[in-house]
Amino acid sequence: MIPAAFDYVRAGSAEEAISLIGEHGEDAKFIAGGHSLLPLMKLRLAQPSVLVDIGRLSDLSYIRDAGDHIAIGAMTRHMDIEKSPVLAEHVPLLAHAAGHVGDPQVRHRGTIGGSIAHSDAASDLPATTLALGATYVAQGPNGTREIAAADFFQGFLTTALAADEMLTEIRVPKMNGAGWSFQKFNRRAQDWAIVGVAAWRRNGESGVGLVNMGSVPILATSVSSALASGASIADAAEQAAAEADPQNDLNASPEYRVHLAKVLVRRALEEASK
Amino acid sequence: MQIRVTVNGTVHESDVEPRTLLVHYVREVLGLTGTNIGCDTSSCGACSLHLDGEAVKSCTVLAVQADGCEVTTIEGLATDGEMHPMQQAFMQNHALQCGYCTPGMVMAATSLLKENPNPTEAEVRIGLEGNLCRCTGYHNIVQAVLSAAGGQ
C-alpha cells in the first residue's frame, strides 16, 4: 500500500515547523516517527497534501527532572521512555506503559508527542498520561501554552491543539511512591488494547485512565470518587465504565468492553494497593 | 526528492518520491529483495531492517525519513561470505520452515541482542513480539536466539 502523493518538507527547528504548517494550511500534517500517521496514509484514510517532518528535532527529545514533575520532550521515543532511569524512579507507570506500546520496532520509531497529538483512544500513552494528571505544552506562532490532559482530548482523533500549534512537551507529575498498575488486554502480543487500564493510588488519591473505552481516552473519575469516599476496590471497580462510551468493533461488543473494564480496573486497583 | 542513504556500507544517492516506503526503496530501487513485505501494516515484522542500528518496520518508514541514515538489511549481515552468528544459529537450530519471516526475525533478533546481550527465554519471546511466524516455528527461533546470545 502506497500513500497518496504529498510534498515533504523537513523542519530544522520547532519555530520553522510551526511556520511551515501555518504556511501550508489545514491539509498539512506534522510527522514525527510516523507510526500513527503513516498507517492511516497507506490506507488513504489520511491524505495530507504536505508532510512537515519534525522527527529530527532532537532538541525535543529529552527526559528531565523538573522538581515536582518530569518534563518529556515530544520527540522522545517510546523506547527511550521505557528505558529511562529517571522515569523508572519517578513515574514508573509511564515507563512501564511505554514498554507495552506496539513492539520493539514500533517503539524505536514512535514518539510520545506523536501518540498524544494523534490522540487515538486505543493508544496506551494518552490514557496513561491522562490518569497521571499530565499537562501538555503546545507551541504556536504566538508562543506556548499549557493544556491539562483532561481538557486536551475533545473527540475522535481530535485535540485542543490549533492547526498551527505543535505539541512540544509533556509534563507528568512525580508519583511520589504511589502504587500503580497497567493492565492491557489484547489477543496478539503487539496489538492495541481491546481495553486497557492505567491506575495509581496513594493514600486517598487515585487516578484511573481507560484505553479504548470510547472515542477519546477516558478518565474514570467515578472510580476515584468512590475510593475517596471509602468504597471497597470491588465496589469502586463497578463504576469503571461510568464515564465511558465504548464502541463496537471486530474485537468486542460495548457490553463486553464494559465487563472487561470493571475486571481490569479491579485488578489494577488491587495491584496498585499492594 | 534527493536522498543519500548508506545501505550495507554502500552510499546510495537516489531521487525518490516522498511517498516511497523504505521497504520499496531497498527492494525496488536498490534490488535488495531479502527484506520481505508481509502484512504491510506494521504488524508482522517481515520487513524489519536496521535503521541506524535499530530494528524498524520498513513498511512504516518513508525513504525520505532515512535520508542521511545507515540502513542494514539481511544482505548486509554476512561478512566475507561468512554468515552472521545469528544466521548460523537459525540454520543450526532449524529456526525456519517456509523462511518468509526469517529475514525480519534475524534483523529483530540481532537488534534485540544489541540491547540485551544475555536475554532470558521470556525476554526473547517478548523481544520478538513484533515478528509473526505462520509456520508456528517460534520454539526453534527462540532457541536460535538464545544460542546466538550464548555464543557471542
In this model, does residue B150 exceed pLDDT 90?
Answer: no
User: Among A173, A206, A222, where does a domain finish?
Assistant: A173
Residues A114, A80: one domain?
Answer: yes
List chain A residues with CB under 8 Å of B17: 5
Residues A185, A146: one domain?
Answer: no
List chain A residues with CB under 8 Å of B112: 104
Alpha-carbon gap, residue A118 to A40, rounded angstroms: 11
In this model, does residue A268 exceed pLDDT 90?
Answer: yes
- The whole-number pLDDT of residue A27 equals 92
- Is A2 part of a structural domain of the chain? no
Q: How confident is the model at residue A141 (pLDDT cuts 50, 70, 90)?
A: very high
Q: Is A7 on the interface with B (CB under 8 A)?
A: yes
- CA closest to A31 among chain B residues: B65
- The whole-number pLDDT of residue A232 equals 97
pLDDT tens-place string over residues B98-127: 999 999 999 999 999 999 999 999 999 999
Mean pLDDT computed over B116-141:
94
Residues B92, B72: one domain?
Answer: no
Residues A215, A250: one domain?
Answer: yes
Enclosing domain of residue B122: 85-151
Burial class (CB in 10 A: 0-12, 13-18, 19+), B138: middle
Residues A94, A29: one domain?
Answer: no
List chain A residues with CB under 8 Å of B21: 2, 42
How many structural domains comprise chain B?
2
Alpha-carbon separation of residue B78 from A118, B56, B123 (angstroms): 40, 19, 25
Q: Is A47 on the interface with B (CB under 8 A)?
A: no
| Helix residue ranges per DSSP H, B4-137 | 22-24, 85-92, 102-115, 121-127
Return the percentage of chain B with pLDDT > 90, whole number: 96
Closest approach of A146 to chain B, Cα-based (Å): 30
pLDDT tens-place string over residues B87-101: 999 999 999 999 999
Q: How confident is the model at residue A190 (pLDDT cuts 50, 70, 90)?
A: confident
Mean pLDDT computed over B42-62:
97
Q: Is A55 on the interface with B (CB under 8 A)?
A: yes
- Domain with residue A36: its CATH number is 3.30.43.10
ipTM, 2 decimals? Answer: 0.96
In this model, does residue B151 exceed pLDDT 80?
Answer: no
Residues B116, B58: one domain?
Answer: no
pLDDT tens-place string over residues B17-47: 999 999 999 999 999 999 999 999 999 999 9
Cβ-based interface (< 8 Å): residues of B facing A: 1, 17-21, 24, 40-43, 45, 48, 51, 54-57, 59-62, 64-65, 108, 111-112, 115, 126-127, 129-131
| Helix residue ranges per DSSP H, chain A | 14-24, 37-42, 78-82, 85-90, 92-98, 104-109, 112-118, 124-131, 149-152, 221-228, 233-237, 254-272
- The whole-number pLDDT of residue A171 equals 98
Residues B92, B113: one domain?
Answer: yes
User: Among A155, A173, A191, where does a domain finish?
Assistant: A173
- The whole-number pLDDT of residue A25 equals 85
- Is A220 part of a structural domain of the chain? yes
User: Among B17, B49, B76, where does a domain finish?
Assistant: B76
CA nearest to A257, candidates A199, A191, A188, A196: A196
From the list A8, A34, A189, which residue is nearest B61 (CB)? Answer: A34
Residues B68, B94: one domain?
Answer: no
User: Among A117, A138, A173, where does a domain finish?
Assistant: A173
Grid cell 538489511 in the structure block, residue = B73
In this model, does residue A41 exceed pLDDT 60?
Answer: yes
Alpha-carbon gap, residue B45 to B41, rounded angstroms: 9
Residues B6, B63: one domain?
Answer: yes
DSSP classification of residue A123: S
- The whole-number pLDDT of residue B152 equals 52
In this model, does residue B136 exceed pLDDT 80?
Answer: no
Enclosing domain of residue A130: 62-173
How many structural domains comprise chain A?
3
Give the residues across from A199 on adjacent strands: A181, A208
List chain A residues with CB under 8 Å of B64: 8, 10, 53
User: Among B76, B107, B128, where does a domain finish?
Assistant: B76
Return the percentage of chain A with pLDDT > 90, whole number: 96
The kind and range of the H/E element at B140 are helix B138-151
In this model, does residue B137 exceed pLDDT 80?
Answer: no
Alpha-carbon gap, residue B122 to A150, rounded angstroms: 37
Closest approach of A58 to chain B, Cα-based (Å): 14
Residues B64, B98: one domain?
Answer: no
Residues B72, B94: one domain?
Answer: no
Q: Name the residue type at position A131.
A: A
pTM, entire model: 0.96
- The whole-number pLDDT of residue A69 equals 98
pLDDT tens-place string over residues A218-243: 999 999 999 999 999 999 999 999 99
Residues B40, B91: one domain?
Answer: no
In this model, does residue A26 exceed pLDDT 90?
Answer: no
pLDDT tens-place string over residues A57-98: 999 999 999 999 999 999 999 999 999 999 999 999 999 999
Residues A133, A185: one domain?
Answer: no
Alpha-carbon gap, residue B139 to B121, rounded angstroms: 10
Residues A38, A16: one domain?
Answer: yes
User: Among B28, B44, B76, where does a domain finish?
Assistant: B76
- The whole-number pLDDT of residue A61 equals 98
φ, ψ at A255 (rounded to 5°): -60, -40
- Is A1 part of a structural domain of the chain? no
Mean pLDDT of chain B: 96
CA nearest to A7, candidates A42, A50, A41: A50
Mean pLDDT computed over A144-155:
98
